[in-house]
């Protein structure tokens, strides 16, 4: 892996096509018990310095003409921890350095605890199209175990606020929470579909360094996860939320276009600490440390070989309902897939796609492919 330390560093050629843009807001009100994302709690006094450094980073991409951005995603962390004045500053920085006139989608993540009507007003005025809300569960006991700041009442208020604004609402939900039952999971899904236009479901994974990992057994949770996932696969399509990716369900046409850019290996510029850009087959990783991001500007550069890139492309494509075109499949990969049980796949003359069962066992399929 190469490392670049250069204030003028920009991986772009002067003739860019449409890019996607991600901004990482590395601040949260409180650290949730299971979270291993790079985010800091209690550092609100650093938000203005983060914005100053974000502007320096964005300027490195400021070409003439400006790069056209097709999807924008503000993630974190907790973007709704930003005050409205800080949101104005963020959008000024992005507008000054990128061409946002061709946006087909603009999303921000939000937490039920900090999302306000003022945020919603700002998002509408600034052409945002989607809010991705960290609901996680609508059971108060489960929210407590996860260490979330909100309860189910607060989550419902936030969902109502977004839905009534006319913005598209994605709800994140977590399954295999200790103590969760199929009944509480079904209840969370049943309530969320009344508000959401898109649902992302994630299995709780206990990363070793998180507080929750000290009290619960990851292996046991993983075994339990299967039945929750299977229920979501059964229930959501009957309510018009079709599975279009391993973790994502939506009515046709509501798929998250920004995430599709990752899964189809399109170019993504990512700003902020721990953000990872992917540009023309090269990955650029910012340090997952705010002080290193502010002071050292050290970027890790990882160039994928054509073969690595192709294998990654196959794995990413398999995550989606569109699967892989046979002409993009390496012969070795085809041999491995042919040796696996037939019911993991749906095959047509042109494409091979994971079946619902294949989606449930996706991890073991990637493991076979990644070592090719
Ligand atoms: S709000 Fe999200 S990013 Fe922040 S600590 Fe909780 S899970 Fe992590």
Tell me if 354 CB under 6 Å of ligand 1. no
- Domain shared by 79 and 153, yes or no: yes
- Domain shared by 324 and 220, yes or no: no
The closest alpha carbon to 91, from 3, 25, 161, belongs to 25
Tell me if 225 CB under 6 Å of ligand 1. no
- Domain shared by 45 and 120, yes or no: yes
- The side-by-side arrangement of strands in the sheet containing 345-347 is 324-325, 351-354, 345-347
Q: How far is the CA of 147 from the centre of ligand 1 (A)?
A: 9
Q: How far is the CA of 184 from the centre of ligand 1 (A)?
A: 22
β-partners of residue 107 are: 73, 130
Residue 292 lies in a domain: no
- Domain shared by 215 and 356, yes or no: no
Name the phi and psi angles at 202, rounded to 5: -125, 140
Q: With 50 as the cut, is the pLDDT of residue 156 above it?
A: yes
Residue 291 lies in a domain: no
The best mutation among 36, 77, 133 to test binding of ligand 1, ranked by most ligand atoms within 8 Å of the C-beta, falls on 77
- The CATH code of the domain that includes 192 is 3.20.20.70
Determine which residue's CA is closest to atom 8 belonging to ligand 1: 35
- Domain shared by 201 and 137, yes or no: yes
Name the phi and psi angles at 336, rounded to 5: -65, -45
- pLDDT tens digits along 260-318: 999 989 999 999 999 999 998 899 999 999 999 998 767 899 999 989 899 999 999 99
- Domain shared by 254 and 346, yes or no: no
- pLDDT tens digits along 1-38: 444 444 444 444 444 568 999 999 999 999 999 999 99
Angle between helices 362-370 and 306-318 (to 10 degrees): 170
Query: What global pTM score does this model have?
Result: 0.93
- Domain shared by 166 and 22, yes or no: yes
Please give the tally of structural domains in the chain: 2
pLDDT mean over 99-120: 97
Residue 21 lies in a domain: yes
- Provide the domain limits for residue 66: 2-262
> In this structure, are residues 210 and 182 in contact, taking their beta carbons and an 8 Å threshold?
no
- Domain shared by 22 and 134, yes or no: yes
Tell me if 254 CB under 6 Å of ligand 1. no
> In this structure, are residues 358 and 368 in contact, taking their beta carbons and an 8 Å threshold?
no
Residue 73 lies in a domain: yes
- Domain shared by 142 and 63, yes or no: yes
Tell me if 26 CB under 6 Å of ligand 1. no
What is the pLDDT, as a whole number, of residue 1? 45
């Amino acid at each position: 892996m190469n490392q670049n330390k250069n204030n003028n560093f920009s991986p772009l050629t002067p003739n860019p096509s449409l890019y996607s843009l991600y901004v990482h807001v590395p601040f949260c009100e409180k650290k949730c018990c299971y979270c291993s994302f790079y985010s800091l709690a209690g550092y609100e006094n650093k938000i203005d310095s983060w914005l100053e450094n974000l502007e320096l980073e964005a300027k490195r991409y400021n070409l003439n003409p400006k790069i056209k951005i097709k999807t924008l995603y503000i993630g974190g962390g907790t973007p709704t921890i930003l005050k409205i004045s800080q949101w104005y500053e963020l959008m000024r920085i992005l507008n000054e350095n990128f061409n946002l006139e061709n946006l087909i989608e603009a999303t921000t993540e939000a937490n039920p605890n900090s999302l306000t009507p003022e945020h919603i007003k700002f998002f509408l005025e600034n052409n945002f199209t989607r809010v991705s809300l960290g609901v996680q569960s609508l059971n108060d006991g489960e929210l407590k175990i996860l260490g979330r700041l909100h309860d189910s009442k607060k989550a419902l208020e936030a969902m109502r606020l977004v839905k009534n604004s006319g913005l598209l609402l994605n709800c994140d939900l977590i399954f295999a929470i200790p103590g969760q039952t199929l009944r509480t999971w079904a209840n969370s899904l049943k309530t969320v579909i009344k508000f959401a236009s898109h649902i992302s479901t994630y299995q709780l994974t206990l990363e070793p360094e998180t507080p929750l990992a000290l009290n619960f057994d990851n292996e046991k949770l993983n075994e339990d996860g299967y039945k929750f996932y299977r229920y979501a696969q059964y229930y959501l399509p009957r309510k018009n939320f079709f599975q279009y990716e391993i973790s994502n369900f939506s009515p046709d046409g509501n798929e998250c276009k920004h995430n599709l850019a990752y899964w189809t290996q399109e170019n993504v510029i990512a700003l902020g600490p721990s953000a990872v850009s992917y540009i023309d087959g090269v990955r650029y990783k910012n340090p997952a440390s705010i002080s290193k991001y502010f002071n050292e500007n050290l970027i890790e550069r990882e160039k994928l070989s054509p073969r690595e890139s192709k294998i990654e492309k196959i794995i990413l494509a398999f995550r989606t309902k569109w699967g892989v075109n046979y002409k993009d499949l390496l012969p070795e990969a085809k041999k491995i897939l042919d040796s696996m049980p037939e019911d993991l796949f749906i095959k047509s003359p042109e494409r091979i796609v994971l079946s619902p069962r294949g989606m449930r066992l996706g991890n073991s399929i990637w493991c076979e492919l990644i070592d090719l």
